[in-house]
Structure 1
Amino acid sequence: MTTPKTATGDNLVEMSWDPITRIVGSLGIYTKIDWAAKRVVECHSTSSVFRGYSIFMKGKDPRDAHFITSRICGICGDNHATCSVYTQNMAYGVRPPHLGEWIINLGESAEYMFDHNIFQENLVGVDYCERMVRETNPGVLEQANRAEAPHAGEHGYRTIGDIMRSLNPLEGEFYREALQVSRTTREMFCLMEGRHVHPSTLYPGGVGTVATVQLFTDYLTRLMRYVEFMKRVVPMHDDLFDFFYEAIPGYEEVGRRRMLLGCWGSLNDPRFCDFTYRNMADWGRKMFVTPGVVIDGELVTTSLVDINLGIRILLGSSFYEDWEDQEMFVAADPLGNPVDRRHPWNQHTIPRPAKRDFDDKYSWTMSPRWFDGTDHLALDTGGGPLARLWTTALADLVHTPYVNSTGHSVRIDLPRTATRPAAGFEWKIPQWSNALERNRARTYFQAYAAAMALYFVEQALGEIRGGHTKTWEKFTVPDEAVSCGFTEAVRGGLSHHMVIRGGKIANYHPYPPTPWNGSVRDSFGTPGPYEDAVQNTPIFEENTQENFKGIDIMRTVRSFDPCLPCGVHMNLSTGKVIDKVHTPHAFGSALGE
């Protein structure tokens, strides 16, 4: 089939992939590709679904907030529930018992392990499997079959080609093993919080989990199996990703964008966290994942107060009306700092659907930005782990027996397990913020989460042995309150902002990582991170236009860990759709259809 030329030039062709999402199929990527230069020259990211949680949260009992917002997502609902509980703790002035917080940390650590594992190995990993590489870059596969894996003794695969074959969906050895591991990590979460993905024992003031030595022993036995698994995973992925740099000169440019990273921090230390706004900058720095903003490689802040006050919600090319003439809910924060009208505390959600127009309005996703005093920056989360590791490394504030930041890296030490000796891994700040490094960071953060969980188990057992078995603290709901919660959802920064009036929710805005990563062009014309990362991405795929699969574009988008596709369609500028049916995982014939 011949790809038709567009009116924009002989070598400029419009191609789109829509939907690209894991759940509801709402993410679309629309591109213009210069075939002569083998480069994407323009990209628009669209979202076709309006959710409206900020509208129907109004008037609700604040105590229901975590149960409701958990349903925002069927993948990371527990992250929303946790963030909402943090927000409520601040509003109610309640500080959970230490044991309750250690249990929440263990639940969140298990969620990181579960979600990153199943995404990395069973979803995005297929982009690098033997079948996909054979279809898109057969020359690269030939190199992979000849390339000896540097860490073969650690992971068991002699060549890079063997690693790729192990990632083949449904039949690859490693692919199937990872599926089994994901079951174990989900069990770990349920031990701590009752149910995955909508926790049943998580409340403001702590948890309803019955804490016993047996409970933590059951968690620990599963955790140690995961720790053993990670001793193979980290070196295996290092070998795979390093190979792509070597095999395809210039591949560091795929998905590369300016270093604009935001991490909101996660895993509170209950010995310091009192959930008060006045102390938020201090206890935020005690988190076991350090909050921060990185601009061009420099860590400009680690203060959650600064992070909070810098958030701006711009409408840009989204289907909403402005709220400049609407009520201001919060003029100043609890410390007396002025709060901008475009801050989530003051946001009004006024939907105005319209026909999609890439020169005007084209998406339901707003444009969150972080204002540094001069510019409204389109921060991304690096898919979550890249920003988390980067800020933690630079801040040099995390020091535990198993994880230590150094100022330029993060050191992860895993203890001896049943069949493998102790192992140490060091994530070093990379040269680029690109597709491969987002994926590499996801692997290292799995080991990070496992190592921190070992520490949390020790702390929880120490509480029980010391007779401190209380897991929940009672509270009262105030008539008036302003509060916020910050954590890291699996794929990046998550914040909830709440205003209470008359004992009811007057305003509530959750901001997960997807609006940050998948935002559209803002009112200044600045593209969102997906758009920015895809624009200027070079095309290294060996296929012709007629058989083009867009693998370099897909690797870029998936490196951010968006909600992955239930189905993918490629359409051309004439509106013709390529006659190819994709499987529910949307990895083309790499899945054998």
Structure 2
Amino acid sequence: MTTTQPKHAQSGEDTTGLTEMSWDPITRIVGSLGIYTKIDFPNRRVAECHSTSSIFRGYSIFMKGKDPRDAHFITSRICGICGDNHATCSVYNQNMAYGVRPPHLGEWIINLGEAAEYMFDHNIFQENLVGVDFCEKMIAETNPGVLEFANRKESPHAAEHGYRTIGDIMRALNPFTGEFYREALQVSRYTREMFCLMEGKHVHPSTLYPGGVGTHATIQLFTDYYARLMRYVEFMKKVVPMHDDLFDFMYEALPGYEEVGRRRVLLGCWGSLNDPDHCDFDYKNMTNWGRKMFVTPGVVVDGKLVTNDLVEINLGIRILLGHSFYRDWEDQEQFVKHDPLGNAVDMRHPWNQHTIPAPQKRDFDDKYSWTMSPRWYDGKDFLPLDTGGGPLARLWPTALSGLVDTEFVKSTGHSVIINLPRTALKPEVSFEWKPPMDPKGEPLSNAIERDRARTYFQAYAAGIALHCIEKALAEVRGGNSKTWEKFVVPDEAISCGFTEAVRGVLSHHMVIRGGKIANYHPYPPTPWNGSVRDQFGTPGPYEDAVQNTPIFEENRGEDFKGIDIMRAVRSMDPCLPCGVHMYGGGVDRHVTHSPGSLNVI
């Protein structure tokens, strides 16, 4: 792994007195993420940020001409972390194209698999990667004064999670030696088992098909899942109050920390976990069945819900080229001019996108990344939506829409309530998540609140799983064991699938001609979050979140680790199972952020 050298002098300081620092690569879903910054150390803030993707994938190119029935097997391989999310989205897409409605039991099984994936992935990321940023060893290296305070600070919810001080929580997060760190690793094992029970194999499911699933549904199958689920429910009764204590402490210990990773509240959620009682995968009915999802789709602007209509969300998607390494496709064929409801479809919509690579030397004043600039057009502005790492953008429209109403999770119009039942060692517990506000009462999307939402959504996913397993068991007990419905591939079709990958919005758009794929575009959350400046000069979410972030780290010079910057980026969940290279002031250092390693090597 190597870094791209800064353009300026040996010290890394440019002519304006700003220090150039880069973190490249950060392994992520689509390509390799690089974060290039200019830091104003005298004023303790990030003055400028560019995010880059150094790898061209080309899935939209080699999908052409393929049998549509292979789409979920191929697109699952886009990612080795959330491949099942792609497979699920592709299956939803195909169900629409083929006009097939899976049996209810098949859909409940898919929901249980996806809920397990949320629990598994959010757990291992939150506790074993994000948690490292707040552990005792990291705090000692970057903010020793904060650690001293943490060791004196009593935990408000010690009775619920068992850690007397905030310092004790931080020690529990230490890689490999920390008690909670090790416990979370065990949780990731049985949550993955839960997924495999439903979909056969993780991360590329072997029993997932258009029309339903090949899973053999039995009482024993769901009992095995349920036993693991209740262990997870008990675990979350500890995790939610523990993280609340930790994140609240960061605000108290570092006044102004709400500005780290903060950007305007521009959130997108495409909804997930269909209700088979309502979902028929017909585009003409998508507005209605989309609103019946157990995670409500929605676009939130400045804290307010703009829409929760999946048809409107679909038609508003625009793929802008901006500062990316591609040639425009305005002179190419327009595959879809109108959707099945007769609405006009823009040339910049994924249905009409052509991927025409134009590789060239990176230039931050011109073209600098393989990531395009997805935007959502509200009729006036091209909005650079982010996913808040997934959970923040999921909980916000779900809360404001007030459409989810089950025994275990409920949205009220202003919050989300999660009711977790009695478990072996803990009584029934209720948690409430509300859209976060800053001290001035303004809507808040920042690093800490993205991380906090991830914790609450883990509990939310457990609550939805409890609902779905009861529904699945009722089907089996009622003698409804069918999990798959046959279908016929049409000669011509246009279709789309919408769901939420672990870290945010995921859509697949397909055009079928002559029974083969004529155009196919999968859009996971990383192109949205990691998008580059568009032609209007609007930065992408990573860039925007890091730019103007204040620096609270006490280190300077060669000891500077950039922890505040890394917390800002990591809060978006950009897939960091590997490491980060960092360049600062002529010193090339490998900063490893994989579990168990904190030190600069």
* Superposition TM-score, scaled by structure 2 size: 0.96
Q: Where does residue 442 of structure 1 map in the other structure?
A: 454
Aligned residues: 587
Deviation at 1:30, TM superposition (A): 0.2
Asked whether the equivalents of residues 23 and 565 of structure 1 are also in contact (C-alpha less than 8 Å), the reply is no
Q: Where does residue 487 of structure 1 map in the other structure?
A: 499
Q: Where does residue 234 of structure 2 map in the other structure?
A: 228
In the alignment, the residues of structure 2 paired with residue 160 and residue 60 of structure 1 have an alpha-carbon distance, to the nearest angstrom, of 55
Match of residue 253, structure 1, among 259, 264, 270? 259
Asked whether the equivalents of residues 25 and 565 of structure 1 are also in contact (C-alpha less than 8 Å), the reply is no
Deviation at 1:545, TM superposition (A): 2.3
Matches within 5 A, 1:315-464: 315-431=321-437, 432-464=444-476
Asked whether the equivalents of residues 500 and 506 of structure 1 are also in contact (C-alpha less than 8 Å), the reply is yes
Q: Where does residue 308 of structure 2 map in the other structure?
A: 302
Asked whether the equivalents of residues 118 and 179 of structure 1 are also in contact (C-alpha less than 8 Å), the reply is yes
Cα–Cα, structure 1 residues 279 and 24, in superposed 2: closer, same or farther, change >3 Å?
closer
Q: Where does residue 550 of structure 2 map in the other structure?
A: 538
Deviation at 1:22, TM superposition (A): 4.9
Q: Where does residue 500 of structure 1 map in the other structure?
A: 512
Q: Where does residue 58 of structure 2 map in the other structure?
A: 52
User: Over residues 246-294 of structure 1, what are the superposed CA-to-partner deviations in whole Å (9 max), with x where a residue is unaligned?
Assistant: 0000000000000000000000000000000000000000000000000
Cα–Cα, structure 1 residues 584 and 395, in superposed 2: closer, same or farther, change >3 Å?
closer
Asked whether the equivalents of residues 45 and 551 of structure 2 are also in contact (C-alpha less than 8 Å), the reply is yes
SS of 1:508's partner is: strand
Opposite residue 355 of structure 2, the aligned amino acid is: T
Matches within 5 A, 1:521-536: 521-536=533-548
Deviation at 1:567, TM superposition (A): 2.3
In the alignment, the residues of structure 2 paired with residue 243 and residue 584 of structure 1 have an alpha-carbon distance, to the nearest angstrom, of 23
Asked whether the equivalents of residues 200 and 206 of structure 2 are also in contact (C-alpha less than 8 Å), the reply is yes
What is the CA RMSD across the aligned residues, in angstroms?
A: 1.4
Opposite residue 239 of structure 1, the aligned amino acid is: D
In the alignment, the residues of structure 2 paired with residue 166 and residue 509 of structure 1 have an alpha-carbon distance, to the nearest angstrom, of 43
Match of residue 594, structure 2, among 576, 585, 589? 585
In the alignment, the residues of structure 2 paired with residue 242 and residue 20 of structure 1 have an alpha-carbon distance, to the nearest angstrom, of 28
Asked whether the equivalents of residues 3 and 545 of structure 1 are also in contact (C-alpha less than 8 Å), the reply is no
Asked whether the equivalents of residues 240 and 455 of structure 2 are also in contact (C-alpha less than 8 Å), the reply is yes
What residue ranges of structure 2 are gaps of 5+ in the alignment?
A: 1-8, 438-443
1:125 aligned to 2:123?
no
SS of 1:279's partner is: helix
User: Over residues 544-570 of structure 1, what are the superposed CA-to-partner deviations in whole Å (9 max), with x where a residue is unaligned?
Assistant: 223110000000000000021522222
In the alignment, the residues of structure 1 paired with residue 495 and residue 374 of structure 2 have an alpha-carbon distance, to the nearest angstrom, of 19
Opposite residue 4 of structure 1, the aligned amino acid is: S
User: Over residues 118-170 of structure 1, what are the superposed CA-to-partner deviations in whole Å (9 max), with x where a residue is unaligned?
Assistant: 00000111000000000000000000000000000000000000000000011
1:571 aligned to 2:580?
no
In the alignment, the residues of structure 2 paired with residue 583 and residue 468 of structure 1 have an alpha-carbon distance, to the nearest angstrom, of 51
Opposite residue 521 of structure 1, the aligned amino acid is: R
Identity percentage of aligned residues: 80
SS of 1:498's partner is: strand
Asked whether the equivalents of residues 127 and 587 of structure 1 are also in contact (C-alpha less than 8 Å), the reply is no
Asked whether the equivalents of residues 418 and 431 of structure 2 are also in contact (C-alpha less than 8 Å), the reply is yes
Asked whether the equivalents of residues 491 and 516 of structure 2 are also in contact (C-alpha less than 8 Å), the reply is yes
In the alignment, the residues of structure 2 paired with residue 357 and residue 349 of structure 1 have an alpha-carbon distance, to the nearest angstrom, of 21
1:37 aligned to 2:43?
yes
Asked whether the equivalents of residues 3 and 572 of structure 1 are also in contact (C-alpha less than 8 Å), the reply is no
Cα–Cα, structure 1 residues 422 and 101, in superposed 2: closer, same or farther, change >3 Å?
same
Cα–Cα, structure 1 residues 263 and 531, in superposed 2: closer, same or farther, change >3 Å?
same
Opposite residue 465 of structure 2, the aligned amino acid is: A
Match of residue 181, structure 1, among 182, 187, 196? 187
Deviation at 1:42, TM superposition (A): 0.4
Deviation at 1:523, TM superposition (A): 1.1
Q: Where does residue 7 of structure 1 map in the other structure?
A: 14
User: Over residues 283-332 of structure 1, what are the superposed CA-to-partner deviations in whole Å (9 max), with x where a residue is unaligned?
Assistant: 00000000000011110100000000000000001100000000000000
Match of residue 161, structure 1, among 164, 167, 173? 167
Deviation at 1:20, TM superposition (A): 1.5
Cα–Cα, structure 1 residues 524 and 482, in superposed 2: closer, same or farther, change >3 Å?
same
Opposite residue 453 of structure 2, the aligned amino acid is: A
* Superposition TM-score, scaled by structure 1 size: 0.97
Cα–Cα, structure 1 residues 263 and 35, in superposed 2: closer, same or farther, change >3 Å?
same
Deviation at 1:428, TM superposition (A): 1.1
In the alignment, the residues of structure 2 paired with residue 517 and residue 23 of structure 1 have an alpha-carbon distance, to the nearest angstrom, of 11
SS of 2:587's partner is: coil
User: Over residues 452-482 of structure 1, what are the superposed CA-to-partner deviations in whole Å (9 max), with x where a residue is unaligned?
Assistant: 1001000000011111110000000000000
Deviation at 1:4, TM superposition (A): 1.8
Segments of 4+ moved more than 3 angstroms: 22-25, 580-584, 586-590
Deviation at 1:584, TM superposition (A): 6.3
Opposite residue 401 of structure 1, the aligned amino acid is: E
Opposite residue 279 of structure 1, the aligned amino acid is: N
Asked whether the equivalents of residues 218 and 476 of structure 2 are also in contact (C-alpha less than 8 Å), the reply is yes
Asked whether the equivalents of residues 367 and 522 of structure 1 are also in contact (C-alpha less than 8 Å), the reply is yes
Asked whether the equivalents of residues 30 and 57 of structure 2 are also in contact (C-alpha less than 8 Å), the reply is no
Asked whether the equivalents of residues 143 and 554 of structure 2 are also in contact (C-alpha less than 8 Å), the reply is yes
In the alignment, the residues of structure 2 paired with residue 13 and residue 320 of structure 1 have an alpha-carbon distance, to the nearest angstrom, of 30
SS of 1:309's partner is: helix
In the alignment, the residues of structure 1 paired with residue 512 and residue 285 of structure 2 have an alpha-carbon distance, to the nearest angstrom, of 21
Q: Where does residue 190 of structure 1 map in the other structure?
A: 196
Opposite residue 360 of structure 1, the aligned amino acid is: D
User: Over residues 147-206 of structure 1, what are the superposed CA-to-partner deviations in whole Å (9 max), with x where a residue is unaligned?
Assistant: 000000000000000000000011100000000000000000000000000000000000
In the alignment, the residues of structure 2 paired with residue 283 and residue 460 of structure 1 have an alpha-carbon distance, to the nearest angstrom, of 19
Opposite residue 587 of structure 2, the aligned amino acid is: V
1:276 aligned to 2:282?
yes
In the alignment, the residues of structure 1 paired with residue 391 and residue 233 of structure 2 have an alpha-carbon distance, to the nearest angstrom, of 18
SS of 2:451's partner is: helix
Deviation at 1:8, TM superposition (A): 2.6
Deviation at 1:229, TM superposition (A): 0.4
Asked whether the equivalents of residues 321 and 372 of structure 2 are also in contact (C-alpha less than 8 Å), the reply is yes
Cα–Cα, structure 1 residues 285 and 92, in superposed 2: closer, same or farther, change >3 Å?
same
